[in-house]
Amino acid sequence: MTNPLLDTASLPRFDDISPDDVIPALEELISSNRNKLEALLLNEDPDFDSVVAPLEAMEHELARVWSPVTHLQGVLGSRGWREAYNKGLPLLTEYGTELSQDTRLQQAYSEVANGLGGDAATPQRSTVAQALRDFKLSGVDLPPAEKARFKEIMQELAATQARFEQNVQDASDAWELRIEDKDKLGGLPRQAVERARRDAADSEVDGWLLKLDYPTYDAVMRFADNRELRESLYRAWVTRASDQGENTEWDNSGNIRRIVALREEAARLVGFDNYAEYSLATKMAATTEEVLAFLRELAGRSRSAGENELEELRALAGERIEPWDVAYWLEKLKQQKYAISDEELRQYFQARRVVAGLFDLASKLYGLCIEAVPNVARWHDTVVYYRVSRSDGTPIGGFYADLYARTGKRAGAWVADLVNRMQINGRAVLPEGFLVCNFPPPDADGRSLLGHDDVVTLFHEFGHMLHHLLTRVDYPSIAGINGVPWDAVELPSQFMENFAWHYDVLKQCSAHCESGDALPREMFERLEASRHAGAALGMLRQLEFALFDFRLHSEFDPNGEQSVLELLDDVRAEMALLDPPAYNRLPHSFGHIFAGGYAAGYYSYKWAEVLAADAFAAFEEAGVFDAETAGRFLREILEVGGSRDFMDAYVAFRGRKPSLEPLLRQHGIS
């Protein structure tokens, strides 16, 4: 019987695939690819069609097989899928490093590049140029012993990063707080209290059970009147997977230092002074000095506003403000100053209605038709698959939406590719993806009510999905998000967030859970007036994360006397307005930089936010739904993938390079 993971002719057979299929599928496909590669390298006169295109197709097929495995181990609380992922990761890492260190393949690509000639960017030239760059970054030119060491580093690094992420998930899933006195839950939204009651019943205990998923944590931090309860959740959140957690079995302290040491060693092997410089080889920013100056300029422009915001919270609270108080008193400030509350807004934003309004926006901007497809195999009964097409019926691709939090599912929100667009040698494959969030699960009536922040998050992730789906590039390695500089990847997502602050959009996304009425204009105006509340504090917090990440990867010595936490203290002394408690262990659950793709790149969020705010200003100038502006953004940004220099693409859209001022205006910072 054919291994169901190897059946890539259609969508994954989630009803049929199992963890036992993973290793046999990978071994068979990697072996086949190795044989195909040997045959390709026999070509004495390599060109794009004879070498590059077939290799693109081979890598596309391997990614298509591995993607469901990566996805399922992150969204299901399944020991089997995790073990299969952990066993498969070394196979993929070994094969990938082997490929990128193959001097014969590098030489073939060099000959192809010489044959293409010319200076103007084309998809073929960009594909080859990026591959040649990646050969160098993978140590293809190293002596045999150093090349072997680089390969060992990649293997250990992949395993350690996976262990880091899994420790965070396990520590989160293991924590719970039983509440017997309902008065301790005062201030919490009804939906959060009802969920805590259901969780207690499911665990066969009396009272209410609070778990450490993000919707619960966020609800407590914003709304719980009980300060001790807020601190309890805060402490649990900031000590996940650390030596300060309730269970130190999942302590990431050793993993953090090892990850940083491995990255540093790899960077030095291939000729860089530190990992930050290595990371910038694939980004828009040119030097470490440029990134540090960018972060510090934003901080300098934001600090005074942040101090004013904090003083306003202190005056309202009438007491010392601690980190577990900030979100709570910000919510109180919005209610007092702007007569708006997140709980009031939540009644208007039913998840299904927000999704429908978001799809309506995609139709207005880009002429897309997005329809749910029934009877598609899924991994959970709340998952929905959507087919995407153009207004004339031309198919574009599709995606799965997994929107609700549950035990065993990784926290956060993200988009991942299932299939990249490919059109090679007459074979056309449309892109498919995964859109994942962690919104409050539907209640007994089947309703999930979202806060406005949740709405913004959904718009953000959908921006990533549009970037993935709308590409017109035919080569997978530079199609969609692939090949785009990491500090520009967040542009389409952060750009989409701006529409969640526009009344005509929110009106389409809203329907009161009782009356069905759309969000009233006067309530939107109060929401809009509150947009700047806490914006500078939020800016400084993100800059603290970014500066810590960048200094960790540019100047920290993993073998030196300074600890990671001492470096963080230095960063906080420069950036933070509030001193966190001594037990705070931010790095131990900072998956973006220790398990994701943001190592020495967390600054990308702010870098791309500058691009996004400046890009949205073009829509504000022309009209938010202006067809010509939307068409230009589609052509110059969303469709081009990594096929051209990104700054050139941005200038083609905007007519100039980006300005910092629109971002500062959005945050109310003068």
Name the residue among 388, 354, 360 with its Cα closest to residue 372: 388
Q: What's the token pair of residue 403?
A: 């929107």
CB atoms under 10 Å from CB of 372, counted, come to 12
Instruction: Specify whether 305 is located in the same domain as 187.
Output: no
| pLDDT, mean of residues 98-112 | 97
Instruction: Specify whether 303 is located in the same domain as 268.
Output: yes
Instruction: Specify whether 466 is located in the same domain as 363.
Output: yes
Instruction: Specify whether 467 is located in the same domain as 482.
Output: yes
Rounded to the nearest 10°, the torsion over CA 180, 184, 188, 189 is 40
DSSP-based three-state secondary structure for 482: coil
CATH of the domain at 458: 1.10.1370.40
Give the number of domains in the chain. Answer: 4
508 HSE (CA, 13 A, CB side): 16
Instruction: Specify whether 382 is located in the same domain as 518.
Output: yes
| pLDDT, mean of residues 148-161 | 97
289 HSE (CA, 13 A, CB side): 0
What pLDDT was estimated at residue 480?
Answer: 97
Instruction: Specify whether 394 is located in the same domain as 503.
Output: yes
What pLDDT was estimated at residue 670?
Answer: 75
Q: Is residue 617 assigned to a domain?
A: no
What pLDDT was estimated at residue 413?
Answer: 97
How sure is the predictor about 121, in pLDDT bands with cuts at 50, 70 and 90?
Answer: confident
Q: Is residue 283 assigned to a domain?
A: yes
Q: Check whether 531 has a pLDDT greater than 70.
A: yes
Query: Which alpha helices (H) appear in 555-645, and where do they start and end?
Result: 564-575, 591-594, 604-622, 627-633
What pLDDT was estimated at residue 340?
Answer: 92
Last residue of a domain, one of 529, 563, 580: 529
| pLDDT, mean of residues 591-619 | 96
Q: What's the token pair of residue 252?
A: 């990431």
| pLDDT, mean of residues 423-431 | 93
Instruction: Specify whether 409 is located in the same domain as 512.
Output: yes
| pLDDT, mean of residues 575-593 | 97
| pLDDT, mean of residues 319-341 | 96
CATH of the domain at 268: 1.10.1370.10
Last residue of a domain, one of 205, 224, 250: 250
CATH of the domain at 106: 1.20.1050.40
Sequence-distant (≥ 6) Cβ neighbours of residue 270 within 8 angstroms:
136, 137, 138, 139, 142, 150, 278
Which DSSP symbol is given to 190? H
What pLDDT was estimated at residue 669?
Answer: 87
CA–CA gap between residue 606 and residue 547 (Å, rounded): 11
Instruction: Specify whether 548 is located in the same domain as 518.
Output: no
- How far is CA 555 from each of CA 282, 294, 298, 560, 590, rounded to the nearest angstrom? 19, 17, 21, 11, 19
Output the DSSP codes for 25-52.
Answer: HHHHHHHHHHHHHHHHTT-SS--IIIII
Q: Check whether 1 has a pLDDT greater than 70.
A: no
Q: Check whether 119 has a pLDDT greater than 80.
A: no
Q: Check whether 668 has a pLDDT greater than 60.
A: yes
What pLDDT was estimated at residue 426?
Answer: 85
Instruction: Specify whether 320 is located in the same domain as 369.
Output: no
What percent of the chain shows pLDDT beyond 70? 100
| pLDDT, mean of residues 617-640 | 97
CA–CA gap between residue 267 and residue 249 (Å, rounded): 31
Q: Is residue 149 assigned to a domain?
A: no
Instruction: Specify whether 241 is located in the same domain as 361.
Output: no
How sure is the predictor about 230, in pLDDT bands with cuts at 50, 70 and 90?
Answer: very high
Instruction: Specify whether 238 is located in the same domain as 262.
Output: no
Q: Check whether 308 has a pLDDT greater than 70.
A: yes
CB atoms under 10 Å from CB of 146, counted, come to 13
What pLDDT was estimated at residue 53?
Answer: 97
Q: Is residue 160 assigned to a domain?
A: no
| pLDDT, mean of residues 590-604 | 96
Q: Is residue 619 assigned to a domain?
A: no
Q: Check whether 317 has a pLDDT greater than 80.
A: yes
395-404 and 414-419 beta bridge pairing: unpaired
| pLDDT, mean of residues 582-600 | 97
Q: What is the pLDDT of residues 177-221, one digit of tens each?
A: 999 999 999 999 999 999 999 999 999 999 999 999 999 999 999
What pLDDT was estimated at residue 117?
Answer: 77
| pLDDT, mean of residues 483-512 | 97
Q: Is residue 291 assigned to a domain?
A: yes
| pLDDT, mean of residues 151-171 | 97
Q: Is residue 39 assigned to a domain?
A: yes
Sequence-distant (≥ 6) Cβ neighbours of residue 554 within 8 angstroms:
274, 275, 276, 277, 288, 292, 600
Q: Check whether 310 has a pLDDT greater than 70.
A: yes
Residue numbers of the domain that contains 194: 175-250
CB atoms under 10 Å from CB of 136, counted, come to 15
CA–CA gap between residue 612 and residue 651 (Å, rounded): 13
What pLDDT was estimated at residue 384?
Answer: 98
What pLDDT was estimated at residue 425?
Answer: 85
Task: Give the residue numbers annotated as catalytic, written as ranges.
Answer: 461
Mean pLDDT in the chain?
Answer: 96
| pLDDT, mean of residues 49-68 | 97
Instruction: Specify whether 375 is located in the same domain as 507.
Output: yes
CB atoms under 10 Å from CB of 525, counted, come to 13
Last residue of a domain, one of 475, 498, 529: 529
Burial, 117: exposed, middle or buried (Cβ in 10 Å; 0-12, 13-18, 19+)? exposed
| pLDDT, mean of residues 137-147 | 97
CA–CA gap between residue 467 and residue 420 (Å, rounded): 11
What pLDDT was estimated at residue 444?
Answer: 87
* pTM score, whole prediction: 0.95
DSSP-based three-state secondary structure for 419: strand
Q: Is residue 93 assigned to a domain?
A: yes
